[in-house]
Amino acid sequence: MNKGTKMPSIVVIFGGTGDLTHRKLMPSLYNLFHQRQLPDSFAIVSVGRKDFSDEEYREQVRISIEKFTRFKLTEDVWSIMRERIYYVRFNFSDDGGYVKLKNILEEMDDKYNTNGNRTYYLAVSPEYFAVIVDKLKHHDMALSEKSIRRLVIEKPFGKDLSSAEELNDKITRVFTEDNVYRIDHYLGKEMIQNIMVLRFSNPIFGHLWNNNYIDNVQITSSETVGVENRGGYYENAGALKDMIQNHLFQLLTLIAMEAPVNLDTKSIRDEKIKILKAIKHVDEDFVRHNMVRGQYGPGEIGINKVNGYRQEEKVAPDSDVETFVAMKVFVDNFRWAGVPFYLRTGKRMKNKTTEIVIQFKELPKILYARENNLVPNLLIIKVQPMEGVIFQFNAKKPGTGNEIVPVKMDFCQNCQMENNSPEAYERLISDVLKGDSTLFTRWDEVEYSWRFVDKIISIWKNSKEQFPNYVSGTWGPEASQELLSRDNRQWWEI
> Any idea which residues carry the catalytic annotation?
247
Helix or strand holding residue 43 (H, E): strand 42-48
Residues 6+ apart with CB under 8 A from 375: 392, 394, 406
135 is in an annotated binding site: no
Rounded CA separation 476/243 (Å): 15
Contact 328/340 with Cβ under 8 angstroms?
yes
155 is in an annotated binding site: yes
347 is in an annotated binding site: yes
Sheet strands side by side (includes 304-306): 304-306, 296-301, 470-472
Three-state DSSP at 15 gives coil
User: What are the φ and ψ backbone dihedral angles of 369, each rounded to 5 degrees?
Assistant: -70, -15
**Segments of 397-443 assigned E as strands:** 404-412
Contact 341/291 with Cβ under 8 angstroms?
no
Whether the upstream peptide bond of residue 406 has omega within 30° of 0, thus cis, is no
| DSSP per position, 94-154 | -HHHHHHHHHHHHHHHHHHT-TT-EEEEE-S-GGGHHHHHHHHHHTT-S--SSS-EEEEEP
CA neighbor of 280 nearest in space, from 452, 486, 160, 457: 452
Contact 327/292 with Cβ under 8 angstroms?
yes
Three-state DSSP at 233 gives helix
CA neighbor of 324 nearest in space, from 255, 389, 244: 244
Could you give the C-alpha distances from 461 to 126, 454, 473, in angstroms and in order?
24, 11, 28
Q: Which residues of 165-196 are buried (b: 16+ CB within 10 A; e: fewer)?
A: eebbeebeebbeeebbbbbbbbbbbbbbbbbb
The torsion angle over the Cα atoms of residues 437, 443, 447 and 448, rounded to 10 degrees, is -40
223 is in an annotated binding site: yes
End-to-end CA distance of the chain: 45
Rounded CA separation 484/177 (Å): 40
49 is in an annotated binding site: yes
Burial class from Cβ neighbours inside 10 Å (0-12, 13-18, 19+) for residue 408 reads exposed
Three-state DSSP at 478 gives helix
Annotated binding residues, as ranges? Answer: 49, 155, 185, 189, 223, 242, 347, 352
Annotated binding residues for substrate, as ranges? Answer: 185, 189, 223, 242, 347, 352
Annotated binding residues for NADP(+), as ranges? Answer: 49, 155
